[in-house]
Amino acid sequence: MSPWPWLKALHLIFMISWFAGLFYLPRLFVHHAMSLDQPVLDEKFKEMERKLYYFVTPWMILTLAFGIWMLLAGAWAAYGSMMWLHIKLLLVGILVGYHFWCGKLMRDFRDGKNRHSHKWYRWFNEFPLFLLVAIVLLAVFKPF
């Protein structure tokens, strides 16, 4: 039996878990930015953000690990010459950067150095959705 379905399933499971965190963490930032004048809430948001960030980081690592495994197991040989895969990998790289940017923003809140308004975080929160749509459409339709 081919390991391919298992690799793909695990890649998707960890990707969904990672995205759940990437959608929720910036929402915490929105509410945190709105409650900075309330010390009890400020501390609670710091704790929630830290726990969530460190909870979803392994899902990112496992998503990448199973994605790389799929590439090595034949996806690169089959699709490496196609532009859609290169664009998808670039978008995944941007998504990893977004994840680490969330970590920086979390540390800024922790250290009392937040520079952004709740409105800015509302826009920031939408970015991973655009990446998700583009990545999924590229992987499913393989347009070019």
| pLDDT tens-digit series, residues 65-82 | 999 999 999 999 999 999
Q: What is the DSSP string of 50-106?
A: HHHHHHHHHHHHHHHHHHHHHIIIIIHHHHTTSHHHHHHHHHHHHHHHHHHHHHHHH
Q: What pLDDT is attached to residue 36? A: 87
List the one residue out of 53, 36, 43 whose CA is nearest residue 116. 36
Q: What pLDDT is attached to residue 1? A: 77
Average pLDDT over residues 119-132: 98
Q: What pLDDT is attached to residue 2? A: 85
Would you say 95 and 131 are in contact if contact means Cβ atoms under 8 Å apart?
yes
Could you tell me how many residues make up the chain?
Answer: 144
Would you say 75 and 126 are in contact if contact means Cβ atoms under 8 Å apart?
no
Does pTM top 0.85 for this prediction? yes
